[in-house]
Structure 1
Amino acid sequence: MLRIVVLGAAAGGGVPQWNCGCAVCRAARTDHPEIRNSQASIAVSGDGIHWFLINASPDLRQQVTRAPQLHPRPGVLRHSPIAGVILTNGEIDAVTGLLSMRESSPFTIYAHAKVLAILKSNSIFDVLKEENVRRVSIDVDIPFMPQLPDGSPSGLEITPFAVSGTSAWYLRGKEHPGGSASTGDTLGLKIVHQASGKYVYVIMACADVDEALKTRLRDAPLVFFDGTVWRDDEMIRAGLGDKTGQSMGHIAMSGESGAIKQLADIGIGRKIFLHINNSNPAWLHASQERQTLEREGWEIPAEGMEIVL
């Protein structure tokens, strides 16, 4: 069986965001605590015992506390079922949680060379000692099999693939530690349970759905997809900032070129949005946007939701 646990579904800042008084954040603090959500990450497992995180969010400590699947084994002084972290990009909300994993438990970081270069260039990540935390480079369109801490196979095969996106926001206008090549900053993942053949696609960030991506996702049983904004200019319209979704490397949910329209009618079995910004009105259950989303067969997950394939 392939098991997936949603640790968090929100974009950077979470819901509610600490300094935000928008309609969604106000609702999360008051009448609708059910929409509270931490920053996006999921955990996957091929055996239900050892788990791999897809991105390490800034909220990782509280996410681990809330997920019994990730608790230390009873009767063991120091232990974690987390065997590795697979990074799909180098954004703050994908890598910051690594710093909460510095207490000498063995695990492996899997990331493209461009993202590993970002970690290497920032000495704060040196708290992850090499004797405990290996860093393994992964390549686009080359499957790899993550290992358990003792070197045995995990039962998973993962294929990274390039999707439209941008480099980490904090690197804009600066020299990228990983060089100027365009590929590697934003990856999607196909995660396959080798024994059963069950699989899931995970795309945390994506700026555009092209025909190649549609072909790849056709008839997939389960897809987690970037749901950052409902409309491209929503942050500007709401007075929350001057960035569009596209400028941040994220496709909108709605519109002719949005994810809902572009991924319709290609046979995806189950469609779940992740990395949803606090500005996105689809968080609100009674909103027209949420009703439209659900009518088109999409979901916004609650923290802790587990799916078994």
Structure 2
Amino acid sequence: MKIRVLGAAAGGGFPQWNCNCRNCQSVRAGLPGFERRTQSSIAVSADGARWTLINASPDILQQFQAFAGTWPTGGLRGCGIESVVLVDAQIDHTTGLYMLREKGSPWPIWCTDPVYEDLTRGNPILHLLEHYCGVNRRPLPAGGQPFHPEGSERLDWQALPLLSAAPPYSPHRGNPVPGDNVGLTIHDPATGRRVFYAPGLAEVDEAVFAAMSAADCVMVDGTFWTDDEMISMGLSKKRARDIGHLAQSGPGGMIEQLARLPRHIRRVLIHINNTNPILDDQSAERATLTAAGIQVAYDGMEIDL
């Protein structure tokens, strides 16, 4: 199984277009240790030729241009991506679908029922696509049943409902339901290896920890370093957990949760907000992660399992 990180940043990317925090200033200035990142998305393949896209970020065109696996081959039009799997209905995970409207046939799009509701009511992007390429919506089972998206049929996929938050435009924003946000376990029967992917994760409950413990690699929420990061910087009145993210530091934070895993499991943080000090390669916070055996995802990162 091959995994390509198309984008590693949270919503807004890095640098964020309207942000003048130290991190964003530094990456614009080209200072060493600060690497640009586009908004969160990965691609998965069983053979390196046919790919499944997980989340379609607003930066999808830039990401496709940077990754030869998505380029057309053998014809006038085409794409190495054969289907799309959505873990939620958030803007930074779905807006890229607008950019994929030129496809010559309907896109197979796998999503849960709550996500489908959000994307046909609160933000009716799937209805809009019907006026262009069309959509073949595939119900994504959130009860652990295996499914097999086009482009990676040889892999066994399972979805696990997560405790997180629905988008602000969702009918159930204040009353979350199972399937608003899912984590994905992807298993390669040929190698026996697994990855667990959850870019938005508010809590590591028993089911999530079991899925993480059974994986060979976990790619999980790296949005904020502290729970009050945005509050302390004067950028928001909400804590990380209020918007569906588990901070890395502090009691019960992601660092502590990852430390509980068996030592052989590869640990990768993804979906990193522009304010997070771990985006500075030379920061004390990055050193803490390195000492804990935790990696920080970057655009173009490749993982073979």
TM (norm. structure 1) is 0.91
C-alpha change, 1:190 and 1:104, in structure 2 (3 Å) is: same
2:128 aligns to what? Answer: 127
1:82-128 per-residue CA deviation (whole Å, 9 max, x = no partner) reads: 11111111110111111111002443100001101111224443332
1:300 aligns to what? Answer: 296
Q: 1:215 Cα shift?
A: 2.2
- SS of the aligned residue for 1:217 comes to helix
- The answer to whether the 8 Å contact 2:126/2:135 transfers is no
What is the distance in 1 between the residues matched to 2:110 and 2:145? Answer: 13
Matches within 5 A, 1:20-39: 20-30=19-29, 31-32=31-32, 34-39=34-39
Matches within 5 A, 1:170-181: 170-171=169-170, 175-176=171-172
What is the distance in 1 between the residues matched to 2:124 and 2:256? Answer: 43
Matched, 1:207 2:209: no
C-alpha change, 1:230 and 1:181, in structure 2 (3 Å) is: closer
2:239 to 244, 252, 266: 244
- SS of the aligned residue for 2:231 comes to helix
1:120-167 per-residue CA deviation (whole Å, 9 max, x = no partner) reads: 22444333238743111112111111134xxxx721211000111111
* Greater Cα offset, 256-265 or 28-37: 28-37
1:85 aligns to what? Answer: 84
TM (norm. structure 2) is 0.92
- SS of the aligned residue for 1:209 comes to coil
Q: 1:125 is aligned with what amino acid?
A: L
1:192 to 187, 196, 214: 187
Matched, 1:42 2:45: no
2:6 aligns to what? Answer: 7
Q: 1:33 Cα shift?
A: 7.5
- The answer to whether the 8 Å contact 2:118/2:124 transfers is no
Q: 2:145 is aligned with what amino acid?
A: I
1:136 aligns to what? Answer: 138
Q: RMSD of the TM alignment (CA)? A: 1.9
What is the distance in 2 between the residues matched to 1:111 and 1:38? Answer: 23
What is the distance in 1 between the residues matched to 2:86 and 2:77? Answer: 25
Q: 2:23 is aligned with what amino acid?
A: V
What is the distance in 2 between the residues matched to 1:66 and 1:17? Answer: 20
Matched residue count = 299
* Greater Cα offset, 207-216 or 82-91: 207-216
C-alpha change, 1:219 and 1:58, in structure 2 (3 Å) is: same
2:51 aligns to what? Answer: 51
- SS of the aligned residue for 1:169 comes to coil
Provide structure 1 residue ranges, at least 5 long, that are not aligned to the other structure: none
Q: 1:214 Cα shift?
A: 1.7
- SS of the aligned residue for 2:23 comes to helix
- The answer to whether the 8 Å contact 2:52/2:83 transfers is yes
Matched, 1:222 2:223: no
Matched, 1:111 2:111: yes
- SS of the aligned residue for 1:35 comes to coil
- SS of the aligned residue for 1:103 comes to coil
* Greater Cα offset, 239-248 or 109-118: 239-248
1:45-67 per-residue CA deviation (whole Å, 9 max, x = no partner) reads: 01211111111111111000111
Provide structure 2 residue ranges, at least 5 long, that are not aligned to the other structure: none
What is the distance in 2 between the residues matched to 1:125 and 1:147? Answer: 18
- SS of the aligned residue for 1:190 comes to strand
Q: 1:219 Cα shift?
A: 4.7
What is the distance in 2 between the residues matched to 1:193 and 1:113? Answer: 26
Q: 2:70 is aligned with what amino acid?
A: L
- SS of the aligned residue for 2:195 comes to strand
What is the distance in 1 between the residues matched to 2:50 and 2:104? Answer: 13
Q: 2:82 is aligned with what amino acid?
A: A
Matched, 1:290 2:291: no
Q: 1:3 is aligned with what amino acid?
A: K
